[in-house]
């Protein structure tokens, strides 16, 4: 089967479907021959360092000279190889202990896999144009692997997750791509792994999944840098379960997430349980980084952001939270909210709920606001309960049904707001007259993804169908 590999050489022509390099040597003197021979030897050494092997897979069986399965090609593909696939492949694909491997359709095309793709113990694996549907598990399962890229891939209608990342792995999902209607959630991260959605080439959609659109746990980190829709994900937990799971993003167990607009706006909407759930000492940052569009959390279940059990959320500019039947932001059990710049929390709550508010701060929690608008919410703009505190400067309150800020007898407010009519203003104790905390906020900075973009450009240049 090794005769089906192709080695490209910079020193000669390519005999496709063999590894033979042909160099034309004309008639020459002995001296000339010796010189040319030296050049050939040097060229062969350079070629050995730069050679790229191609293995073509035709799962339709149309071309008998191609490999019939991806697994057969991977068995002989080495470092620097391109495994180019056409047709629909009915197999489970395993990439194990590989380095610098490229697998996918020819650039600009797609290939289908009816089964799962597993990458384990590997480094620098690039997957392109794969539409994966696994009726028995996850579409993409990445374990103990680094620098794994999925570009222009889809994972829709799988029994398990669209992408599952474990065991200190790091993965980049380059758009366009979709991870929809999966039985175990859209993207799942655990075990101190990393996954970044990078949409410089097109949008990513994570919608209609059973369970969270994105599930982040066990110290893992997730980031999307824009142009991502996380919508209409469905709760699978019982109504009385401690943890509902139909959130757009759900973070637990000291995990981290960033939602940014470097490549366009993000939409988190229509998720059954709520927009984002952050708990168990986890952290979420939502921020803008220059591109047009904002971060929109809209019409998600009962709550836009739910933050508790020692977790923190930071909102930096152009975040809009609106249209939820409960609070826009719910802080509980030592949850913390930091809000900086022109963010909007508006039109949340319902008149029949005594806990309705733009922001609920409950159970030893804290809200720290520097700017922003809280408007037209049912109930007050902020409702502070049970030993909680609010520190607000520069925030604008307007049109909230029950005033600006309301506290119970155990909560406190430090603010530039002046007390006024109890129903339409501020009903809170002020613990001191020393003013607000002076602080400077620094929004996150977009990371450098030049290396990932260069790898995508390399695949575009070299991955072609024969």
Name which CATH class applies to 81-445+451-455: mainly beta
For 78, how many CA atoms within 13 A lie in the half-sphere containing its CB? Answer: 8
Answer for the pair 385, 367: CB distance below 8 angstroms, yes or no.
no
What pLDDT, in 10s, does the model give residues 225-272? 999 999 999 999 998 998 999 999 999 999 999 999 999 999 999 999
Q: Backbone phi, then psi, for 423, in 5-degree steps?
A: -75, -30
Task: In whole angstroms, give the CA distance from residue 9 to residue 20.
Answer: 9
Q: Whole-angstrom Cα distance, residue 368 to residue 333? A: 16
Give the C-alpha separation, 140 to 132, whole Å: 8
Q: What is the reported pLDDT for 44?
A: 39
Per-residue pLDDT of the chain (466 residues; tens, 9 = 90+): 444 554 433 333 333 333 333 333 344 445 444 444 444 434 433 343 345 799 999 999 999 999 999 999 999 999 999 999 999 999 999 999 999 999 999 999 999 999 999 999 999 999 999 999 999 999 999 999 999 999 999 999 999 999 999 999 999 999 999 999 999 999 999 999 999 999 999 999 999 999 999 999 999 999 999 999 999 999 999 989 989 999 999 999 999 999 999 999 999 999 999 999 999 999 999 999 877 789 999 999 999 999 999 999 999 989 999 999 999 999 999 999 999 999 999 999 999 899 999 999 999 999 999 999 999 999 999 999 999 999 999 999 999 999 999 999 999 999 887 555 444 468 888 876 666 777 766 778 888 989 999 999 999 999 987 7
| Phi, psi (degrees; rounded to nearest 5) at 71 | -60, -40
pLDDT tens column, 48-71: 334 579 999 999 999 999 999 999
The length of the chain in residues reads: 466
Residue 454: per-residue pLDDT = 95
Task: Give the CB-side neighbour count of residue 305, counting CA atoms within 13 A.
Answer: 33
CA distance 395 to 341: 9
Closest listed residue to residue 272, CA positions, set 302, 251, 228: 302
Residue 115's beta-bridge partner residues? none
Note the pLDDT of residue 446: 84
Rounded to whole angstroms, how far apart are CA atoms 74 and 78?
Answer: 8
Cβ atoms of 222 and 193 closer than 8 Å = no
- In the chain, what are the domain boundaries? 2-50, 81-445+451-455
pLDDT of residue 4: 55
């Amino acid at each position: 089967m090794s005769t089906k590999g192709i080695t490209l050489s910079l020193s000669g022509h390519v005999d496709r479907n063999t590894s033979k390099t042909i160099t034309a040597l004309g008639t020459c003197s002995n001296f000339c021959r010796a010189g040319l021979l030296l050049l050939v030897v040097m060229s062969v050494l350079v070629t050995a360092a730069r050679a790229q092997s191609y293995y073509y897979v035709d799962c339709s069986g149309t071309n008998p000279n191609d490999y019939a399965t991806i697994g057969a090609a991977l068995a002989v593909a080495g470092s620097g190889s391109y495994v180019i696939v056409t047709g629909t492949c009915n197999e489970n694909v395993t990439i194990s202990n590989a380095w610098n491997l490229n697998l996918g359709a020819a650039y600009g095309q797609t290939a289908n896999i009816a089964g799962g793709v597993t990458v384990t113990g590997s480094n620098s694996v690039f997957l392109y144009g794969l539409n994966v549907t696994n009726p028995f598990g996850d579409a993409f399962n990445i374990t103990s692997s680094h620098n794994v890229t999925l570009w222009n891939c889809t994972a829709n209608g799988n029994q398990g997750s669209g992408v599952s990342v474990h065991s200190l792995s790091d993965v980049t999902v380059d758009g366009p791509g979709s991870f929809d209607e999966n039985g175990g959630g859209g993207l799942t991260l655990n075990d101190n792994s990393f996954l970044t959605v990078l949409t410089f080439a097109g949008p990513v959609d994570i919608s209609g999944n059973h369970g969270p659109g994105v599930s982040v746990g066990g110290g893992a980190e997730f980031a999307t840098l824009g142009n991502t829709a996380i919508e209409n994900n469905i709760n699978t937990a019982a109504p009385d379960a401690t943890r509902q799971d139909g959130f757009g993003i759900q973070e637990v167990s000291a995990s981290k997430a960033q939602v940014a607009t470097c490549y366009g706006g993000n939409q988190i909407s229509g998720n059954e349980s709520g927009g984002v759930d952050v708990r168990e000492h986890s952290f979420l940052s939502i921020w803008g980084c220059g591109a047009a569009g904002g971060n929109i959390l809209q019409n998600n279940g009962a709550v836009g952001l739910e933050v508790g059990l020692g977790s923190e959320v930071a909102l930096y500019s152009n975040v809009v939270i609106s249209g939820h039947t409960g609070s826009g932001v719910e802080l509980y059990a030592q949850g913390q909210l930091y809000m900086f710049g022109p963010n909007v929390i508006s039109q949340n709550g319902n008149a029949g709920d005594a806990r309705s508010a733009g922001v609920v701060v409950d159970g030893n929690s804290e809200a720290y606001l520097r700017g922003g608008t809280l408007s037209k919410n049912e109930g007050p703009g902020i409702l502070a309960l049970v030993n909680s505190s609010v520190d607000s400067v520069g925030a604008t309150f307007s049109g909230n049904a029950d005033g600006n800020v309301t506290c119970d007898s155990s909560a406190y407010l430090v603010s530039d707001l002046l007390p006024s009519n109890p129903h339409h203003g501020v009903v809170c104790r002020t613990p001191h007259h020393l003013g607000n905390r002076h602080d400077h906020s620094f929004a996150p900075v977009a990371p450098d993804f030049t290396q990932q973009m260069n790898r995508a450009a390399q695949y575009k240049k070299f991955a072609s169908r024969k």
